[in-house]
Structure 1
Amino acid sequence: MKAMPWYTLLPAASEYMIEHGWTKCYSTLNQFNWFLCFLYIAVYLFLVEFGIYWVHKELHDIKFLYNHLHVTHHLYNKQNTLSPFAGLAFHPLDGILQALPHVIALFIVPIHLRTHLGLLFFEGLWTTSIHDCIHGNIWPIMGAGYHTIHHTTYKHNYGHYTIWMDWMFGSLRIPLAKETHFKEKAK
């Protein structure tokens, strides 16, 4: 919880950049095109997925970053200690690094301000849900079953919303039925 105030630095900086017109984020709907709107949202989400995958993977692969930043998040590594709180338990710099793809995407893709803010809100819900150990098994979504594997092996399932990046870059491990739920004995 001590890191939470630090998490506000990146959204505050991105809001400043948006308000000063430095990004491609817009707030009016002068000539609205539904096709382009959905295309830009898809591109934005792809860039975020790609960026978070690589930041997350490097936080594991570069031992200095893991030992000084990402280890805080992985204190919750066993199925009996993994909880939705783990979705918020980050070193401040780790949280900022993993949120950075959202800001970078603003410089590349035109997206409406409310869409961007809605996706940031969804981000908070998402990071909580992938740590709740309840796996809905909806392909190609990176559900809690996939992310629980990440917390127990450290070298699989770095993706964020989907399994695409892990599949493309060879780090995907599909959960077996027995891995997606707590063991009955643990109750």
Structure 2
Amino acid sequence: MGGGPPYLELFVEETSFYNRIVLGTIFPNFSLDPFPHILQTWLRNCVGGFLIYFFSGFLWCFYIYYWKRNVYVPKDSIPSNKSMLLQILVTIKAMPLYCVLPTFAEYVVEHDWTKCYPRVLDVGWPAYAFHIITYLTFIEFCIYWMHRGLHDIKPLYKYLHAKHHIYNKKITLSPFAGLAFHPMDGILQAIPHLFALFLIPTHFRTHIVLLFFEVVWTANIHDGIHSRMWPVMGAGYHTIHHTRYRYNYGHYSIWMDWMFGTLLDPMDIEAKGS
């Protein structure tokens, strides 16, 4: 790293380890050494993103649409294979561009442009817990307003976010719809994870885990099942967002929608029968 602080070497060692684990497993007989570190990182993020997307999507679809058929989702509400295939194709096209963001995030961390630290013991567990709470609160606030802006600013909705909102009925929503965005839309909604690194001390490995957890989380909130786990912004709330557009912009929780007057509870709709 050109004689930088010693802890920067820990970041590079960690990202190099991830590259070897993922790419070495997928391409065991292919040498990646001639390729720049940043290119290896981008490729690893693409491979990892696809693996998580397909594993979580197929596993969850198999569980709710076949194994537990008619238990969680009525037979007449199961999306068609054609709909899910179209969602997969949109995601496949967008994933390489999505992965530019986590790759750049790792680059700026490795070059000491952020407030990241490599080990929890560098700050202690109480500080680590405080940082994570602050990080998640920041993410929740920023994604809420980014998502709401993608609806309220008409050109952004028309040219970016509308591509995701073609899935506007329960029967068109599936776990595979979670990443079926225009690439720039997906990047804009994930970019608070990058901004947080410049403002909030963040454990590097935790940041990576949370960023890739987004893939699992978006699959979960598009499955149409209302889990009733208050105050989690589950699929029941997010389905309302897809069918009514102007409610439930939140990410992990309902708090931002509650604070800014855009919360619509699925139980209220059931009680009114509408």
TM-score range (shorter-chain normalised) is over 0.9
Shift of 1:112: 1.0
Contact kept? 2:120, 2:128, Cα under 8 Å: no
Q: What letter corresponds to residue 95 of structure 1 in structure 2?
A: G
Runs of 4+ in 1 over 2 A off after TM superposition: 28-32, 176-179
SS in 2 for 1:86: helix
CA distance in 1 between counterparts of 2:216 and 2:102 reads 16
What are the within-5 Å matches in structure 2 for residues 84-103 of structure 1?
84-103=175-194
Greater RCO structure (CA 8 Å; 6+ sep): 1
State the match for 2:241 in structure 1. Answer: 150
Which of 147-156 and 31-40 deviates more? 31-40
Shift of 1:158: 0.1
* Structure 2: 5+ residue stretches without partners: 1-91
Compare CA radii of gyration and give the structure with the larger one: 2
What are the within-5 Å matches in structure 2 for residues 62-73 of structure 1?
62-73=153-164
State the match for 2:124 in structure 1. Answer: 33
What are the within-5 Å matches in structure 2 for residues 1-16 of structure 1?
1-16=92-107
CA distance in 2 between counterparts of 1:176 and 1:30 reads 44
SS in 2 for 1:107: helix
State the match for 1:126 in structure 2. Answer: 217
In the superposition, relative to structure 1, how do residues 113 and 31 fare at CA in structure 2: closer, same or farther (>3 Å)? closer
State the match for 1:47 in structure 2. Answer: 138
SS in 2 for 1:80: helix
CA distance in 2 between counterparts of 1:29 and 1:45 reads 17
State the match for 1:184 in structure 2. Answer: none
State the match for 2:25 in structure 1. Answer: none
CA distance in 1 between counterparts of 2:119 and 2:231 reads 33
CA distance in 2 between counterparts of 1:44 and 1:52 reads 12
CA distance in 2 between counterparts of 1:178 and 1:172 reads 12
1:165 and 2:256 aligned:
yes
Which of 31-40 and 3-12 deviates more? 31-40
Listed one character per residue, the Cα deviations across residues 39-88 of structure 1 (whole Å, up to 9, x for unaligned) are 10000000000010000000000110001000111111100111111111
Q: What letter corresponds to residue 87 of structure 1 in structure 2?
A: G
TM-score, length-scaled by structure 2: 0.63
User: In angstroms, what is the RMSD of aligned CA positions?
Assistant: 1.3
CA distance in 1 between counterparts of 2:120 and 2:135 reads 18
Which of 51-60 and 20-29 deviates more? 20-29
TM-score, length-scaled by structure 1: 0.92
CA distance in 2 between counterparts of 1:162 and 1:141 reads 4
SS in 2 for 1:75: coil
Shift of 1:30: 4.8
Q: What letter corresponds to residue 83 of structure 1 in structure 2?
A: S
Shift of 1:123: 1.2
What are the within-5 Å matches in structure 2 for residues 98-117 of structure 1?
98-117=189-208
CA distance in 1 between counterparts of 2:236 and 2:99 reads 29
CA distance in 2 between counterparts of 1:113 and 1:174 reads 35
Shift of 1:28: 3.1
* Structure 1: 5+ residue stretches without partners: 180-187
